[in-house]
Structure formats: structure tokens, C-alpha cells
Amino acid sequence: MLRVLVIDESRARAGEICAGLALAGCQVAAILPDSASLAHEVEKLQPDLILIETESPSRDTLEHLAVVDEHMPRPVILFTQDDAGETIREAMRAGVSSYVVDGLDPKRIKPLIEVARARFEAHQALRQELAESNRKLSDRKLIDRAKGVLMKARELDEDGAYHALRKLAMERGKPMAEVARDVLDMAKLFS
């Protein structure tokens, strides 16, 4: 069962949201009147999704969402009356998965949750792909620098330096990037 953290300053409106979530087969983890303690509550409650209803997302709300998105990312649905383009862009940068204008119809909750989860999963996959690409590029740079050190110190050609690094990595049972870092550290020590 999907656990949802609800944020709404209106208790009456929050009650309607909770009823809609129950009809959609979701469990309400908690109801907060604002986002002031959002990071703490997300860490404590571990909800599967965050649902926010507000007239317009405040700067504080967007900052709290950005912190959660960086450290404990979750799908976020934001229901609002604010249709300003810049506000929408800021909300999306803060980690909002679905930005819904013109309020919440409890009958639409289930498909909106599915859209938010799908967008969130796609975004997370892109984030992981980017992090992996950056790691590989960083590793490649380390290996190239270590090859340069070996080429200079042992008078090897590029292919010979690569094979020496690879052999050392295999002997030590370490990734090549880690061995390259060791070679660079040793070169600093002796220079």
C-alpha cells in the first residue's frame, strides 16, 4: 500500500484529500500544515509519495522540497492555483514530479499518482545515468593522467602504460581507476 505524506494548511481540504487517497488504495502517513519540518518528517516516516495542496508554493516550500529531493528523493505532486510559468519551472527544479493547476479532484488522485511515480522513476534513472557517466569520465581522466606518469617515469608508450596499469589492477584486485589514483599519489610523493 502506497504511503503518502500530505501537506495542506487547510484541515478541511486535507480531509478531502485523505478520503480521495483512501479511495485510491493509499495510506496517509501524516498530515502536515506546512513544509517547515518536511525533511525531518520524510526521514522519520519514509513515505512513498508527497502530496501538497497550496494556493501557491512559497519559496520556503520549494527550498524544503529541494533538500528532500537531494537527500531523500520521493515523487511529489503539487496541487495549486498558481499557473505562472516561472513558479512551475522552480517547482520542477525543486523535485516536483507533477504540478497540477486548478485544484484537486479526489477522483483524479489515482491516475495523478501513477503519472507522478512514472515521471519520478524516469527522472531518477536519468540522474543515475548521469552520475555513472560522470564517474566513468572522472575514472578515464585519472587513468589517462596515470598513464602519462608511467610513460614519463618508465619510458613506455601509451599502450604499454595502459597494460602496466591493467596488470597492476589485476594483481591487486582493484579497479583501474583506484590503481591510477595510487600511481598519481605515489608520483606526488616522489616529485
98 and 23 housed in the same domain = yes
pLDDT by residue (tens digit) across 32-57? 999 999 999 999 999 999 999 999 99
Choice among 3-12, 48-57, 99-108, 158-167 with the minimum mean pLDDT: 99-108
**Amino acid 189: pLDDT:** 86
**Three-point CA angle 75, 83, 77, nearest 5°:** 15
Choice among 84-88, 97-101, 102-106, 152-156 with the minimum mean pLDDT: 102-106
Distances (CA, A) of 61 to 8, 80, 107, 113: 11, 13, 26, 20
**E strands of 54-114, at which residues?**
76-80, 98-101
**Amino acid 40: pLDDT:** 95
pTM of the model: 0.78
Residues 118 and 105: their CA atoms lie apart, in Å, by: 20
91 and 27 housed in the same domain = yes
Whether residue 135 is predicted with pLDDT greater than 90 in this model: the reply is: yes
pLDDT by residue (tens digit) across 153-189? 899 999 999 999 999 999 999 999 999 999 999 999 8
Q: Which residue segment(s) compose the domain that 174 sits in?
A: 132-190
- CATH code of residue 156: 1.10.10.10
7 and 76 housed in the same domain = yes
As for how many domains the chain has, the answer is 2
Whether residue 13 is predicted with pLDDT greater than 90 in this model: the reply is: no
Q: How confident is the model at residue 71 (pLDDT cuts 50, 70, 90)?
A: very high
Judge whether 127 lies within some domain.
no
**E strands of the chain, at which residues?**
2-8, 26-32, 49-53, 76-80, 98-101
Helix, strand, coil shares of the chain, percent, nearest 5, are 65, 15, 20
